[in-house]
Amino acid sequence: MGKKPSSNSTSLSIFNPKYYFKKPQQLVLVIFGFVSLVLLVSDRQNLTRDHHEEVLRLNEELAQLKLHLEDLSVKVKWSAGLESSNTSKDDDDDPVSVERREKVKEAMLHAWTSYEKYAWGHDELQPQTKDGVNSFGGLGATLVDSLDTLFIMGLHEQFQRAKEWVANSLDFNKDYEASVFETTIRVVGGLLSAYDLSGDKTHGSAHNPGWTRGNSILADSGTEQLEFIALSQRTKDPKYQEKVEKVVKEIQKTFPTDGLLPIYINPLSGTAAYSTITFGAMGDSFYEYLLKVWIQGNKTEAVKHYREMWETSMKGLQSLVRKTTPSSFTYICEKNGNFLSDKMDELACFAPGMLALGSKGYGPGEAEKVLSLAEELAWTCYNFYQLTPTKLAGENYFFHPGQDMNVGTSWNILRPETVESLFYLWRITGNKTYQEWGWNIFQAFEKNSRLETGYVGLKDVNSGIIDNKMQTFFLAETLKYLYLLFSPTSVISLDEWVFNTEAHPLRIVTRDGDPHHENSQVDRQQKLPIHFRGRKEGRLGYN
């Protein structure tokens, strides 16, 4: 009798290829099983990826649904003449403003959800390629820059997720070429503002860029005071304030009689290097911060010299003002030596807002004159938008006798300066015309810059060709100022808050002069912004 094969020898034979040639049915079963297993694993991976995208999509739809429900709730309360328990009704709030405010909020939600979906943790979103890029050393610049916008708009779930990323993932221990200016205004300013608003204590190599030949940029040197003074006040450590105020003291020693400084400053001597004088790129925020440090310190004697320097500079600004023909558009020239250039950057459109804000510190007569200049310049800046086919402004404009103005550099990178000035002018004058202008600009952004995956700039405001970048300041500044343009004046009151140049609100704290003994307690009893539950290097060049 032959010996039966053991079960062990049978089990081993299945690993022998010859076994399947003798039994082809078994081979078919094995191949079928292997293919099924591969398909199952592949499907699970696809399902996981699809599930993640579906969850993000559903979250966005849920947030949109909440906005629509809140919108309906406010409509009912308005028609019944009732006040929402979560909304402080102001005389300057009305149904049209409420509706527009919520449209801006929806735009912010769309921009934020796109960033969260495609570029979470990266500095900036590239909407066309649906990915992120690290333009600022991988500090999550869009995320940090947007914290206070999310908080002000009442987007609490989004704010919480962003705050958790800051607490768990934000890492400054990096070896990269850092822009002190951009990091200060976006990251330091964003974190300080989020702290001032929420009260939550969430927890490289810096040098001048090579193309300045070692010189410091005027706007860089004079645009860190607000943030570092606030940092000293909040931490009770005077060293930050002392360092940035030393810069101003050095500049003050050789401050010119017209208050106008070239854009390059020698970092060793503090003296001006021969270069352009401008209220546009690389000069703008120096003048802005002279005024705002005075406001930040509650206009006391300790900060009086900032106001004095600013008023001197404003006399210089007025010497650069010209008008076009035939339409009498008012603009600010640039200056090289004794030569005036009839060119104005859109960046210089912060000036109308600055002048309006500073007009309240002048006496009768002069205050009206300064405010009138602010309004004239704002009209020009608004027309920077209205005179192009897309109704979006170019980067700069040139002015010609008898021909008014034409676009110079024709890109638009979602800049905020004009809507910033409209916000200040509306707050200070109460003129609703500025709200209408802002609404027109918002609609142009919606028409030309909104994609399903975020917002983009335009390579050319004449043709409407789009780029692939959602700038961080679109969320931090442009949408925030538009939202506040349609909000009551009690929301981030200008009597209690001062905005840094990236639109991050910092609390006004009275100063007594000595940084070691500053009256730097932040009053948490001050009114926090109202959360309405109603209806609905990018600065210097194109990249």
Active site members: 182, 284, 395, 417
Q: Per the structure block, which two tokens stand in for 16?
A: 């022998």
Which of 230, 172, 234 is CA-nearest to residue 201? 234
Distance CA(8)–CA(6), nearest Å, equals 5
Which of 365, 360, 411, 402 is CA-nearest to residue 384? 411
Q: Give the relative orientation of helices 417-429 and 433-449 as an angle to the nearest 10 degrees.
A: 160
CA 347 to chain centre: 14
How many of the other CB atoms lie within 10 Å of CB of 213? 9
Strand partners, 133: 124
Distance CA(257)–CA(330), nearest Å, equals 24
Within 13 A of 462's CA, how many CA atoms are on the CB side? 5
Please give the sequence-ordered ranges of beta strands (E in DSSP) within 471-540, or none if there are none.
497-499, 505-507
By DSSP bridging, strand 343-345 and strand 334-336 are unpaired
Strand partners, 470: 125
**Residues 236, 197 contacting (CB under 8 angstroms):** no
Which of 451, 367, 527 is CA-nearest to residue 113? 451
Distance CA(330)–CA(370), nearest Å, equals 13
209 by Cβ neighbours in 10 Å (0-12 / 13-18 / 19+) ranks as middle
Distance CA(311)–CA(307), nearest Å, equals 6
**Residues 498, 119 contacting (CB under 8 angstroms):** no
Distance CA(168)–CA(66), nearest Å, equals 28
361 by Cβ neighbours in 10 Å (0-12 / 13-18 / 19+) ranks as middle
Distance CA(219)–CA(221), nearest Å, equals 6
CA 300 to chain centre: 29
- Exposed e or buried b per residue across 72-110, where buried means at least 16 C-beta atoms within 10 angstroms of its C-beta: eebeebbeeeeebeebeeeeebeeebbbbbbbbbbbbbb
Q: Is the peptide bond before 262 cis (omega within 30 degrees of 0)?
A: no
Distance CA(52)–CA(35), nearest Å, equals 26
Residues in CB range of 136: below 8 A, 6 or more apart? 123, 178, 179, 182, 183, 186, 187
